[in-house]
């Protein structure tokens, strides 16, 4: 069976479990709140796992995690690029509301997009869990503000809120990418202080620190929340030679120019190995949880922050990273929670990164913030009844993309275009981009039935006018609301 057909069959033929299939205990009934581990990959495509249909990549550890829990076929990152995706995860809110309109530039970038970051006024899941007695740890890529100890940023960048300001007791990692690559990175910081050149690969270093923190934390009587942010497989790539060697005979079968084929065949062995190295690192963390007797009372969630830059890694979806087609934001995702999530279940209900805060709040018995709009929905009912009631449809806005707005509402997907941006507008926020964001208007719409047309190939806008009108109003109202709420960034000088 060809790869494209296999994945399509996996997505369409998935089975939703029933309440009779699961042993359920309400949060708190066991007497101890569960530990929570969120593992986030970076730019990993929808089909970049064995259990999501990859012909090339072997991910036995993440596959096992899926076998022990639930695999989501319709899980969406909060945005199709890094920083807003992470903002949605942390806050449960559409990232436009918090002003994280695009990616945050690398350390030392003194261009005009320096002001943008997750505002200190936002409330994160780490802060809420910490108030409930959780120990909290972040390891890996941060990308919600410039880490103050990076050393090469502007004064404005250095004054941005840090992981500790958002509820993390301990932080180890980087503002943006591991540099100069995943191998032997030199830009890691621990709680704001540079740690100097390191030896090894980023994913393994991140897991080393996570395991060390679990072993050495002084408040072992408390439950813990660990946010593990892998840099892989974001460029610049570096992978162990023995893993790259396994893919040396890769041949690209996609239709493209000979020059592009040659580039693809040179790149992908390292890319495939990069994902496999991350899987090995994830396996080490999962093994430690087992050996430490923590697995039975630990929720483990794994997903990607957005789609891959390589369109072939998002098959059978349309588009890639930075697109508001499904290939930019529909990602592989699995969750394990022994005793609560039946092993081997497959969920086809749309879910996403904005749902993480509401879900963990309900599990931990925490009241969600009442002074702001929370867009996500608790996924807890999925683990019993298999259905959730979503008040706000899954929504995305990325001003430079075409389409620039999208919603997923049940089986339906609506995309919207805004008046064409000026060519000088990049994904990094500039004063011109900020002005454009606040004034752009929706102009046209396309409608797709995602359940029947996973590749978004047939626009049904003319055939389904009633559905179009209903979703168009939802999209327009929500778009106007979140853009109005988002802060306007100011530049010095």
pLDDT of 111: 58
pLDDT of 432: 86
pLDDT, one tens digit for every residue, the chain (493 residues): 344 443 444 433 333 333 233 333 344 445 689 999 999 999 999 999 999 999 999 999 999 999 999 999 999 999 999 999 999 999 999 999 999 999 988 765 655 556 899 999 999 999 999 999 999 999 999 999 989 877 656 666 778 999 999 999 999 999 999 999 999 999 999 999 999 999 999 999 999 999 999 999 989 899 999 999 999 999 999 999 999 999 999 998 888 888 888 988 999 999 999 999 999 999 999 999 999 999 999 999 999 999 999 878 999 999 999 999 999 999 999 999 999 999 999 999 999 999 999 999 999 999 999 999 999 999 999 998 778 999 999 999 999 999 999 999 999 999 999 987 666 677 778 888 899 999 999 999 999 999 999 999 999 999 999 999 999 999 999 999 999 999 999 887 5
CATH class of this structure's domain 3-392 = alpha beta
User: What stretch of H or E contains 139?
Assistant: strand 135-141
pLDDT of 490: 87
Q: What residue spans of 25-102 are helical by DSSP H?
A: 60-68, 82-91
Question: Can you tell me the distance from the alpha carbon of 60 to that of 39, in angstroms, rounded to the nearest whole number?
Answer: 16
Evaluated on CA atoms 65, 69, 74, 80, the torsion sign reads negative
Question: Can you tell me the distance from the alpha carbon of 317 to that of 10, in angstroms, rounded to the nearest whole number?
Answer: 13
pLDDT of 2: 40
pLDDT of 253: 82
Evaluated on CA atoms 17, 18, 20, 24, the torsion sign reads positive
pTM of the model: 0.92
CATH of domain 395-485: 3.30.1120
Question: Can you tell me the distance from the alpha carbon of 171 to that of 122, in angstroms, rounded to the nearest whole number?
Answer: 19
pLDDT of 108: 58
By the 8 A CB rule, do 139 and 213 touch? yes
Domain-by-domain residue ranges, the chain?
3-392, 395-485
């Amino acid at each position: 069976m060809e790869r494209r057909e296999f994945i399509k069959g996996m997505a369409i033929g998935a089975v939703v479990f029933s309440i009779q299939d699961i042993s359920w205990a309400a949060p708190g009934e066991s007497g101890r709140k569960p530990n929570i581990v969120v593992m986030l990959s970076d730019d990993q495509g929808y089909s970049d796992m064995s259990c999501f249909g990859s012909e090339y990549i072997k991910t036995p550890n993440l596959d096992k995690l899926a076998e022990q829990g639930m695999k989501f076929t319709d899980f969406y990152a909060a945005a199709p690029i890094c920083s807003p995706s992470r903002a949605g995860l942390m806050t449960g809110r559409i990232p436009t509301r918090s002003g994280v309109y695009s990616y945050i530039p690398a350390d030392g970038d003194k261009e005009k997009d320096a002001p943008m970051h997750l505002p200190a006024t936002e409330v994160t899941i780490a802060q809420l869990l910490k108030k409930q007695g959780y120990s909290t740890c972040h390891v890996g890529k941060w990308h919600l503000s410039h880490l103050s100890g990076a050393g090469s940023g502007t004064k404005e960048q250095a004054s941005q809120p840090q992981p500790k300001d958002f509820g993390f007791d301990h932080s180890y990692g980087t503002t943006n990418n591991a540099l100069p690559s995943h191998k032997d990175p030199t830009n890691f910081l621990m709680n704001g202080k540079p740690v100097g050149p390191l030896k090894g690969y980023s994913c393994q270093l991140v897991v080393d620190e996570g395991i060390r923190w679990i072993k050495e934390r002084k408040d072992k009587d408390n439950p813990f929340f660990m946010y593990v942010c892998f840099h892989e497989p974001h460029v610049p790539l570096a992978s162990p030679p023995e893993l790259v060697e396994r893919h040396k005979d890769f041949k690209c079968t996609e239709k493209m120019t000979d020059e592009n084929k040659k580039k693809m065949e040179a790149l992908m062995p390292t890319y495939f190995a990069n994902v496999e190295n991350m899987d090995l690192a994830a396996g080490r963390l999962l093994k430690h949880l087992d050996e430490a007797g923590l697995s039975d009372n630990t929720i483990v969630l794994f997903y990607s922050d957005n789609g891959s830059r390589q369109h072939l890694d998002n098959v059978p979806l349309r588009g890639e990273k930075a697109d508001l087609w499904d290939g930019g934001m529909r990602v592989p995702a699995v969750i394990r929670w022994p005793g609560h999530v039946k092993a081997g279940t497959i969920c086809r209900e749309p879910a996403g990164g904005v749902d993480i805060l509401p879900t963990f709040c309900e599990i931990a018995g925490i009241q969600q913030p009442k002074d702001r709009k929370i867009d996500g929905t608790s996924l807890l009912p999925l683990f019993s009844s298999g259905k959730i009631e979503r008040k706000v449809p899954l929504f995305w806005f990325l001003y430079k993309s075409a389409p620039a707005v999208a919603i997923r509402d049940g089986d339906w997907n609506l995309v919207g275009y805004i008046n064409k941006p000026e060519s000088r507008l990049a994904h990094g926020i500039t004063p011109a981009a900020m002005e454009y964001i606040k004034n752009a208007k929706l102009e046209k719409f396309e409608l797709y039935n995602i359940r029947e047309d996973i590749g978004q190939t047939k626009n049904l806008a003319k055939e389904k006018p009633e559905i179009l009108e209903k979703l168009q109003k939802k999209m327009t109202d929500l778009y106007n609301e979140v853009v109005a709420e988002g802060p306007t960034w100011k530049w010095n000088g």
